[in-house]
Structure 1
């Protein structure tokens, strides 16, 4: 089975053209080797893909020729993806009180210093 068809049918990519483009761009590897869109995938192969949702590592357990529902697609591979990195906590920027008017020149400079400009 073609690599681009399989990664699309198990819903790693939103469209087959996106799956083929990822294969051509070197974002899909089968058993550690860069995979062309037409490269074959067999049960037991390890597929590493850089998807829009992040890096995914899956082991093929069953082949699909058509795109299926998410619950059926999840049964066709074993997910070995690393856990996503923790999200960075963003510090909230201080806000001016509503109705306090435009900032003065001094306040504007303080705001710019806080923003790092």
Structure 2
């Protein structure tokens, strides 16, 4: 089976076109050799590719007939990606949240109005004294 079809069938990419683009950018290797989209894969082949900031390493166990359901993916591939890589990704996510909380960027129109109202309240209190 072609590498583009295999990676699509085992649900690593949503479309075959996405796999083809990754192959053209030399992001996918089979047994250490950069793969073209038409490269045939066989059981025991090691596929390495970079996706979502993780270098995934999988071993082909069997070739599926068609695209398989998410629960059946483990029949056709073995994930050899080290656990440390996933832990590193979790740390990256946590560090991004730590430095900049979601929604703390530019004030929204409502935030600006609330700030203006607060400033006007203080200004009016000063005039009354």
Alignment TM-score, normalising by the size of structure 2: 0.67
Q: The residue matched to 1:58 in structure 2 has which SS?
A: strand
Cα RMSD (Å): 2.4
CA–CA distance in structure 2, aligned partners of residues 14 and 52 of structure 1 = 13
Corresponding residue number in structure 2 for 1:55 = 55
Q: Residue 3 of structure 1 contacts residue 40 of structure 1 at CA under 8 Å; is this kept in 2?
A: yes
Q: Which moved more, 1:14-23 or 1:47-56?
A: 47-56
Note the residue ranges of structure 2 that are not aligned, 5 or more in a row: 105-113, 121-129
Q: For residues 72-111 of structure 1, what are the structure 2 equivalents within 5 Å?
A: 72-82=72-82, 83-84=85-86, 85=88, 86-87=91-92, 88=95, 90-91=98-99, 100-101=118-119
Number of residue-to-residue matches in the alignment: 101
Q: By how many angstroms is 1:12 displaced? A: 0.8
- Structure 1 consecutive aligned stretches of length 4 or more whose deviation exceeds 6 Å: none
TM-score, structure 1 length as denominator? 0.73
Deviation of 1:53 after TM superposition, in Å, equals: 6.4
Which protein is richer in helix relative to its size?
2
Greater RCO structure (CA 8 Å; 6+ sep): 1
Match for residue 107 of structure 2? none
Residue 30 of structure 1 corresponds to 30
Contact 1:10 1:68 in 2 (8 A): yes
